[in-house]
A and B are shown apart, each in its own frame.
Chain A
Amino acid sequence: MKIFAFEEITYPGLPGNLGPEVRLTNRYCDPNLVVQHYKEHLEELARAEDYGFDGIFVNEHHFTASNNNPDCNLTAAVLIDRTKNCHIGVIGNIIALRHPLAVAEEFAMLDCLSGGRFIPGMVRGLPAEWVSYNMDPFTARNRFAEAYHIIHQALTQELVDYEGEFWNISRASIWPKPVQKPFPPFWMPAGSLESIRFAAENRLVACQTLQPTMVLKQCFDEYRRIAGEELGWKPGFNNFAGLRFMHLGEDHRKAVEEGVGMFSYLMLSLGRPVLNPAPLPGFNTDQSYKHRQANADDVFSYGLGNTSDAASKVKSEPSQADKLRNAGLMLSGSPESVAEWLVEDAKTAGYGNLIVTFRVGNGTHKQALKSQELFAKHLMPILRKVNVEENAKASEELVAKPLEVRTASGQGLPFYQDFNYSLNRDAIEMVGVARYAENGRVTLAWEMQVAKIAEDGSPAQIIVPGPAPEHKGCAIQLHLVTKDGAEITDDAGVVLEASGPGDLDKQVMFDGGYGQFTGAPDHMVAAQTRGVARNDYSIRLSISLPSTAAQPDLEHEESTFEIKCFKHLLTLSA
């Protein structure tokens, strides 16, 4: 099993006597405490590398004292700078509430900053966060899905084109692009049926926390069922992650007592549902928890939605530590007392990634460091042997779908997509139709001319992209009919060329037969070589046939062409 460190950066200085009517605004925040707290948390997290953890995760929450980390990409960047080898992940960005391209750019930056150690992750956000952002929760799932597809495209493709309900992206290309190729799968919490399905369909790593073992098992089993029965692939242990809150101490009884107190404080810091007086509708459907019906007696009987109640119950009820543990909320005690439960948890649920947080609630820096040390010494060697991926194939299946392999022949490659201009019969460059006869052949041509340089000195170029490793060249579409409307014969020659004034710098971008067009989908073929028509250059698309053959009528409305090229205007004053 792979093991990762994680921490919520819970604000430590909340007064303990706040009533449920008190909203935790930043009136209770002393930023000087946060300054110190950041230093401590970052030190604790960075130390995980020294103990041999596979990686470190950070997450974000907003408008809450429970986690003063509203942009986990920032803390990830700091951790990248403080570590050398371990993975640094985010779990994750609330991608539906940010511009997806901005998220993609930051992920690419984090991957480059870390030299390929970054693990991407995303969440839909807590309902309370949607309340403060004042967004419509009924849009949450679709916004999330759209954002993911855009981010994934941006990180794995040269260009992003997306037309959705919430986002329209046109040919964006992010800089930098990530180092990792293929880019690793995203991690996401998946508790509802819809999220589980989304994760399985996209081969993501599904995470669960703050739930009993059986809930994790039900969620991950559903993922495995969908992948196996409906999608035809077999997830490995690495497709699943369990996150557990923990406090270890050498004195078992003392650690148990401390752990219960820490978790009570975490509940307190989660805030009160003042702005969100009841569960927010729209995030899920009534079908979302079908897989949970048989297992309703779980964590939330503790009243997570009502923190004051939860806190008081935690203090007053007997065997509270056992209840917290069995509910999957908090493990505390000596390393030996926790080890058995954790091994059983991982084996039963079948996760191959364990994320552990050692600083919970108002736990101190010293307590967290000690807990982490005890974990590394006593638990890590045991847990390493659990749920090890049996073969590399399952792991390989984990990787995001790689970029298509490009071949020199262009087969399977797309046309050049970054065109911004179409040369056609209506283009301003069009001069007219020319006709030449020579050696028993007749050549008809559309003649075009790139304008002279502008009065302000701004140059222009028309670039016809030829084949490249990523594409097969720009698309040339051609359809030719005779004056009677009949399509001309396949043996007609077709040439696309450009030349400068005085017929200098002649460039032939296509030289072939009309049959290539009639044999291609949509009459569309690729340019064979790159051509650049500068100011005052002429461009010619010519068709030649024996003089005895039926000639194309280039003035006929059904005789058309389109060259999807790039027109480059340079404004010097810009």
Chain B
Amino acid sequence: MPTASPGAGIACQYIAGSAQVGELKTEFLKGGKGPPLLYLHGLSRSLGWDTDNIGLALHRSVYAPVLPGWKAGRLPTQITSLQDYARLMLAFMDAEKIEKADLLGHSVGGWIALHIALLAPERIERLVLVDSMGLDGGETPATDISQLDEAALYSAAFATRGVLVVAGDFGGVPLDLRGGALFKHVMNGQRNLIALTGGKCGEVSLMPCLKGISAETLIVWGESDRLTPLDHAHIFASHIRRSRVAVIEGAGHFPQKEKPQTFLRVVCNFLLGRDEPVEGVRARPD
């Protein structure tokens, strides 16, 4: 596994493309260099080549598709389930001639990633689940997102109250999560998920299948996530054979936005096979 980065200049360059997959056109961003990584967004679609894309692209050719329908807020008629999205993403890989890839899925994207890993385990190199939806029933009932108004959705999604200072180009940059584009798109994503599942963030039938996932898996979780609570991370870990959990302190449902530096360090270490402790991360045994 190569560990040398191709450099920030390469990682910052990206293209916006689209692939015709069956009857559906899939828009995507692509950048970086190295083995392919498919990055499936969550409630909020990708807002551009952001810090998390750049960080991953320092070591991978990152493909960040926008789930068809997610941009317009209207699901295509061909999509009636999460499994439909999973099949579409596999077809997207075919269209882009990606035989095998690392797969990173956040939130809804994690749920889709789980189905991909079950449908075509041979095509997944490593799997990263970030605050993944998907579980329901028993000790881990799924949140019904249709019951959350704007304030409740914000409160469930983010650990940060008020303004967050993140590392920027000229030192610390204040970031207003509530007032920014990210949260607006989260609310759009809420509508999409309601259209798709009625608002349920998981399915009862998924848990028994998890033992079929063979890829080495990292389960990244914001410790204060209230959309997909931390308990779900440990249930995933207990069912996915080759998995481990990394809990990011001070983050909610979007650790890649609230703790981008920590998120990238922990994910890149996993992708590169490096076993280095990262400050602000609690590890749990396999």
Contacts and interface: CB of A to CB of B under 8 A. Distances in A.
A287 B280 contact: yes
Interface string A133-177: 111111000000000000000000000000000000000000000
B186 interface: no
Interface string B45-70: 00011111111001000000000000
Given A288-B172, A289-B167, A298-B174, A282 B9 contact: no
A278 B49 contact: yes
Given A131-B9, A132-B9, A134-B7, A286 B169 contact: no
Interface in B245-280: 250, 259-262, 264-265, 268, 279-280
B176 to A, nearest CB: 9
Contacts of A130: 8
B54 A286 contact: no
A277 B15 CA distance: 12
A276 interface: yes
B8 A284 contact: no
Given A136-B58, A277-B49, A296 B165 contact: yes
A128 B169 contact: yes
> B7, B166, B173, B268 — which one has the most chain A CB atoms within 10 A of its CB?
B173
Contacts of B168: 279, 300, 305
B12 interface: yes
Contacts of A279: 51, 166-169, 173
Contact of A280 (B13, B51, B163): B51
A285 interface: yes
A210 interface: yes
B10 interface: yes
Contact of B12 (A138, A210, A275, A301): A275
Interface string A539-571: 000000000000000000000000000000000
A104 B262 CA distance: 34
B264 A285 contact: no
B252 to A, nearest CB: 13
A135 B52 CA distance: 17
A278 B51 contact: yes
A91 to B, nearest CB: 16
Contacts of B10: 134
A181 to B, nearest CB: 35
Contacts of A210: 170
Interface string B141-166: 00000000000000000000011111
Given A287-B280, A288-B167, A289-B165, A127 B8 contact: yes
A81 interface: no
A286 B9 contact: no
Given A276-B12, A277-B49, A138 B163 contact: no
Contacts of B279: 285, 287
A283 interface: yes
Interface string A259-297: 000000000000001011111111111111100110011
Contact of A192 (B54, B171, B250, B262): B171
B12 A131 contact: yes
Nearest to A208: B171
Contacts of A287: 279-280
Contacts of A362: none
Interface in B196-225: none
A191 interface: yes
> B5, B170, B250 — which one has the most chain A CB atoms within 10 A of its CB?
B170
Contact of A286 (B49, B170, B250): B250
A477 interface: no
B177 to A, nearest CB: 12
A286 B264 CA distance: 11
B164 A138 contact: no
Contacts of B173: 279, 300, 305
A282 B55 contact: yes
A443 interface: no
A211 interface: yes
A301 B174 CA distance: 7
B7 A136 contact: yes
B98 to A, nearest CB: 23
A59 B198 CA distance: 59
Nearest to A273: B169
Contacts of B170: 126, 210, 300, 304-305
> B13, B168, B260, B262 — which one has the most chain A CB atoms within 10 A of its CB?
B168
Contacts of A135: 7-8
Interface string A371-383: 0000000000000
B159 to A, nearest CB: 12
A296 B164 contact: yes
A136 B33 CA distance: 13
A283 B9 contact: no
B174 A300 contact: yes
Pick the 6 closest A-B CB pairs, nearest first: A134-B7, A134-B9, A284-B167, A296-B174, A136-B5, A289-B172
Interface of B: 4-10, 12-14, 48-55, 58, 162-174, 250, 259-262, 264-265, 268, 279-280
19 contacts: A130-B8, A133-B7, A135-B8, A136-B5, A278-B53, A279-B168, A281-B52, A282-B8, A285-B279, A286-B167, A286-B259, A287-B279, A288-B167, A289-B166, A296-B165, A296-B174, A297-B163, A297-B174, A298-B174
Interface of A: 126-128, 130-138, 191-192, 210-211, 273, 275-289, 292-293, 296-298, 300-301, 304-305
Given A277-B48, A279-B169, A280-B8, 4 more contacts: A128-B169, A286-B167, A286-B260, A288-B167
